[in-house]
Amino acid sequence: MPVVKYPRVVDPLWHEWDEKAQKCGLRHTIYAVNGDQYTGEWLDNLKHGKGTQIWKRTGAIYSGDWKFGKRDGYGSYSIPDPVTKEYKKVYTGWWKNDKKCGYGTLFYPSGECYEGEWSSGLRSGWGRMCYRDGSVYEGQWLAGQPGGQGMLCLSNDNRYEGGWKDGKKHGPGRFFYLDKGQLLEGIWVADIPKCGIMIDFGRDEAPAPTQYPIPKIELADPDAVLAEAQAMFDDSQN
Q: What was the pLDDT predicted at 38?
A: 97
All residues at 6 or more sequence positions from 57 whose CB lies less than 8 Å from its CB, including other chains = 34, 35
- Which class for 18: exposed (0-12), middle (13-18), buried (19 or more C-beta within 10 A)? middle
Spatial distance between the Cα atoms of 154 and 16, rounded to a whole number of angstroms: 62
Give the range with max mean pLDDT: 1-10, 84-93, 226-235. Answer: 84-93
CA distance linking residue 54 with residue 115, whole number of Å: 25
Local confidence band at 14 (pLDDT 50, 70, 90 cut-offs): very low
The reported pLDDT for the residue numbered 25 is 57
- For the chain, the average pLDDT equals 87
Q: Which amino acid is at 106?
A: L
Measured in residues, the chain has a length of 238
Amino acid at 199: I
Strand partners, 115: 105, 128
Instruction: Classify residue 84 by burial, with Cβ atoms within 10 Å: 0-12, 13-18, 19+.
Output: exposed
139, 146 Cβ separation under 8 angstroms: yes
- Quick one: pLDDT at residue 95? 98
pTM check: above 0.85: no
Q: What is the pLDDT of residues 44-72, one digit of tens each?
A: 889 999 999 999 999 999 999 999 999 99
Question: Residue 219: what pLDDT?
Answer: 66
Q: Residue 168 corresponds to which amino acid?
A: K
pLDDT tens digit sequence for 165-209: 999 999 999 999 999 999 999 999 999 999 999 999 988 888 888
**What confidence tier does 28 reach under pLDDT thresholds 50, 70, 90?**
confident
State the virtual CA torsion across 210, 135, 123, 88 in degrees, nearest 10. 170
Q: How far apart are CA 46 and CA 42, in angstroms?
A: 5
Say yes or no to pLDDT of 17 above 60: no
| Neighbour-count burial for 186-217, b at 16+ CB within 10 Å, e otherwise | ebbeeeebeebeeebbeeeebeebeeeeeeee
Query: In this model, does residue 5 exceed pLDDT 70?
Result: no
- Confidence band of 27 (pLDDT split at 50, 70, 90): confident
Residue 71 or residue 225, greater confidence = 71
* Whole-Å CA distances, 2 to 5, 7, 62: 9, 16, 60
Grouping H, G, I as helix, E, B as strand and the rest as coil, residue 199 is: strand
What domains are defined for the chain?
Answer: 1-101 (2.20.110), 108-238 (2.20.110.10)
pLDDT tens digits, one per residue of 87-119? 999 999 999 999 999 999 999 999 999 999 999
**Residue, of 12 and 166, whose pLDDT is higher:** 166
C-alpha to C-alpha distance for 122 and 135, rounded to whole angstroms:
21
